[in-house]
Structure 1
Amino acid sequence: MMDVIAGAFGTLKTASDIAQGLLALKTDTAVSTKALELNRVIADVQQQLFTAQTDYATVLRRVQDLEAQIVQFKDWQHEKQRYQLYELAPATLVYRVKPDMQNGEPVHDLCPNCYQDGIKSILQNNGYVKSHDSLTCPRCQTVLLLPPSKTGFIEISPAPDAWGNPRGF
């Protein structure tokens, strides 16, 4: 970008030299020729300045985007400290909010895939899948199958019929 601006200043110097040359000319034809040359130089300067302005705006937008990413990264670095790796079942790991960091929130677990991507995505109870309790990530659709006793969710059974017998689903 500095090359473009330096080029623009160089072109302006050329325009100035042409203008000085106009003063030294005596004939109308020579003046007209130099005036046309001056107009071309001025048009070049305008184009170079427009290019420099466009490049500057592009660089400025990129800097703003990078600054926003830095803020987001710093926020995630702080937020992820609230969670620790937790084994829900053998070989089934999630990130669970630390008890002393709940800040009034209920106990909840984050998707380990999204956590590694720097995104907080709370796993949701998805009921039974293949005879197991399941948790699903709403963002990446990861499904974790768990033994029924490990989820901590209350299992709701249908009320017994009028004779006290359990109802089937």
Structure 2
Amino acid sequence: MLTTLPNLLNSKNQLKALLETALKAEGEIDRSAASDAVYDWIDQLHQQLTSDHLAFSRLQLENEELEVELADTRDWEVEEKNYTLHRLKTGSYVYCRVTPTHNAISDYYLCATCFMNKVKSILQPVHKAFECHVCNSSIQGLPLPKPTIEML
């Protein structure tokens, strides 16, 4: 990359040498050759700057994506603390909401597989099982009691 300090100093020295050669050139052919050398150097510099600009733009985009990912991870870490792994009477595991007193209480269950993948998927009761509509898992368990107005 041209944008390192040693490369910039080297480029400055190259341009200085080319300009000195152009100023000292005698005759039309020497001036034309020196002028061509300066224009070639400028063209190479332009190509390098364009390349550096594209690389910088890609790095900015990647940085923005990483910042969003970091914010999502922090949000998940906060949200994750509101749930605990709970064993149903059938032996299946689900995640349920935790109260401030750390009692596992919930009128819904979350799929343990999805939860481990940072996805909150509410298990849907189907007969005497629960189904996850995200990962299609089926979990044996007794249906939850119907929520009352007080629970909502």
Instruction: Give TM-score scaled by structure 1 length.
Output: 0.74
- 1:57-96 to structure 2, matched below 5 A, reads 57-96=57-96
Identity of aligned residues (%): 19
Root-mean-square deviation (CA, aligned residues, Å) is 1.9
1:140 to 135, 139, 152: 135
Are residue 41 (structure 1) and residue 41 (structure 2) matched? yes
- Give distance in 2, aligned partners of 1:9 and 1:41: 14
- 1:1-169 to structure 2, matched below 5 A, reads 3-6=1-4, 7=7, 10-100=10-100, 107-125=107-125, 127-128=126-127, 133-146=128-141, 150-153=142-145
User: What's the offset of the Cα at 1:97?
Assistant: 0.9
Task: Name segments (4+ residues, structure 1) moved above 3 Å.
Answer: 6-9
Kept after mapping to 2: 8 A contact 1:19/1:38: yes
2:144 counterpart letter in structure 1: G
3-state SS of paired residue (1:121): coil
Kept after mapping to 2: 8 A contact 1:94/1:110: yes
Q: How many residues align?
A: 140
Kept after mapping to 2: 8 A contact 1:8/1:49: no
User: What's the offset of the Cα at 1:8?
Assistant: 5.2
Kept after mapping to 2: 8 A contact 1:18/1:38: yes
Unaligned runs of 5+ in 2: 147-152
Change (3 A) 1:9 1:45: farther
3-state SS of paired residue (1:89): coil
3-state SS of paired residue (1:90): coil
Kept after mapping to 2: 8 A contact 1:4/1:48: yes
Unaligned runs of 5+ in 1: 155-169
Change (3 A) 1:42 1:50: same
1:56 counterpart letter in structure 2: F
Q: Deviations over 1:93-143 (max 9, x none)?
A: 100112449xxxx62111101111122111112x23xxxx22111211111
- Give distance in 2, aligned partners of 1:107 and 1:13: 74
